[in-house]
Amino acid sequence: MKKVELIFVPTPGIGHLVSTVEFAKLLIDHNDRIRVTILSMKWFPDAALDAYTKSLTALPPDGIQLIDLPRVDPPSLAPWKSAESIIDSFIKCYIPPVRNAVRDIVSMKCSSDETRVAGLVLDLFCSPMVDIATDFDLPSYIFITSNAAFLGLMFYLPTRHSLNSSEFQSSDPEHVIPGFVCPVPTYVLPSAVFSKDGGYAAYVKVAERFKDAKGIIINTFEEVEHYALSCFSNGQNPPVYPVGPVINPNGLSYSDSDDKVMKWLDDQPQSSVVFLCFGSMGSFKAPQVKETALGLEQSGFRFLWSLRVQPPQNDASNMLPEGFLERVQGRGLICSWAPQLKVLAHKAIGGFISHCGWNSILESLWFGVPIVTWPLYAEQQLNAYKMVKELGLAVEMRLNYRKDSDEVVMADEIEKAVGMVMDGGSEMRKKVKEMGEIARKSVMEGGTSFNSIGKLIENMISNN
């Protein structure tokens, strides 16, 4: 029986790439006929991303193969263009190299009696590359590293755009978006939909191609987003496959660089530490750093703070209140980077103040650690709203904070949120722990995500 090869095209960001690779491993673990080739686009220099992609070459050659695509000249865009517009232009520049790579792979496999190419798995931002799959008579699948709520927004955008082709306005009334129980306030929508600098147009362009895919894969699980997923099974959209939580088990491995953080946690009582971490792009200006420090100090709780600051500052200690480090010595630790998955898995962690990236939310649920919402960018405001208002699985501090805003969350507000998330007897904490147990069962044999992956593989293998 022939092997089946899938060609993955991820967006070159660490949050997207890690989930994509872990999902590829899941497919291979489920069915030994599957092989995966990942086409690696070259973004701006990123040491962490380069190290991760290089580590893929250590995987068995009969499982996952990495092909480095040639670097292309970056799009020449005005500096004020939105991030989504820049990503869209970058992906467009890579359509010819991706097309050439797919052509070469298909040509090689056509002459093979052992393997056939069964389709393309495209990151959501790569949805315009559906045309490449069509050109080679291959099905395409969209892989969404976010949740079903975000997919609901993607389904909503083309419909709204056909009626009103202008960007969203902050004064807009609430929106009836598929996958949400209640109308969604405009203030929690991603910044891109308000952008006149290409962000809105980029989102619409991406969303319009979803209907052309043979299936949509989401890093979520049925039990946490049952209502949203049920809204998409109406026959009007491509089949949706929830396959999460896609968790990177390598994130639990131990390295010397993690010694300081992990040894400090080892010395703390169970569920006594609140962890602050805001993702690879989460950084703050001096006024916010100062208020956060004061809020943590006033709370009286132990804390681990992964602190990144915005240029031109490069030394966080200069931004902290005078005498702060001395006053919190022994009950607080500040570091520039923390191994998030290992930290969340540690018995000492009792709460998580997070930017609400979906990967981070899934990791916190997996380990039963309740979240305080502090969204910064992308779809994180929407994630925060979903977790607080619809699922009751997070403590609300802010739902509509924006990284590019001059707004400052004050110390008293931070102190209150820390106290709420560290309440060991709260109903919300119990719900999070229960959902964590459900999340783990979903990916085990017989679980909802396990079965969903099986259906997806059946669809892929029986394709031709």
DSSP assignments along 349-407, one per residue = EEEEEE---HHHHHHHHHTT--EEE---STTHHHHHHIIIIIS--EEES-SS--TTS--
249 domain-assigned: no
Whether residue 229 is found in the same domain as residue 262: no
Per-residue burial over 138-174, b = 16 or more CB atoms within 10 Å of its CB, e = otherwise: bbbbbbbbbbbbbbbbbbbbbebbeeeeebbeeeeee
Mean of the pLDDT values across residues 32-44?
Answer: 89
What is the C-alpha separation between 62 and 36, in angstroms, rounded?
A: 9
CATH of the domain at 33: 3.40.50.2000
137 domain-assigned: yes
- How confident is the model at residue 10, as a pLDDT? 95
- How confident is the model at residue 153, as a pLDDT? 97
Whether residue 297 is found in the same domain as residue 321: yes
**Both structure tokens of 416:** 């209150």
155 domain-assigned: yes
Please write the tens of the pLDDT for every residue from 281-323: 888 999 999 999 999 999 999 999 999 876 656 677 789 999 9
Whether residue 56 is found in the same domain as residue 136: yes
Lowest mean pLDDT segment, chosen from 73-87, 213-227, 262-276, 339-353: 73-87
Please give the residue range of the domain that contains residue 365.
255-439
| 60 pLDDT more than 60 | no
Distances in Å between the alpha carbon of 193 and those of 190, 231, 359?
A: 6, 22, 22
30 domain-assigned: yes
What is the C-alpha separation between 362 and 284, in angstroms, rounded?
A: 24
Q: Which residues contact 31 (CB under 8 A, 6 or more apart)?
A: 4, 457, 461
172 domain-assigned: yes
Whether residue 301 is found in the same domain as residue 174: no
Q: Which of 206, 201, 204, 210 is nearest to 82 (CA)?
A: 201
129 domain-assigned: yes
Q: Which of 174, 235, 79, 158 is nearest to 385 (CA)?
A: 174
| 43 pLDDT more than 90 | no
CB-side neighbour CA atoms (13 Å) of 158? 12
Whether residue 220 is found in the same domain as residue 287: no
- How confident is the model at residue 349, as a pLDDT? 98
Q: Predicted confidence band at 376 (pLDDT cuts at 50, 70, 90)?
A: very high
Q: Are 29 and 155 in contact (CB under 8 A)?
A: no
Whether residue 366 is found in the same domain as residue 316: yes
Q: What residue spans of 232-318 are helical by DSSP H?
A: 259-266, 286-299
Whether residue 434 is found in the same domain as residue 454: no
Q: Which residues contact 54 (CB under 8 A, 6 or more apart)?
A: none
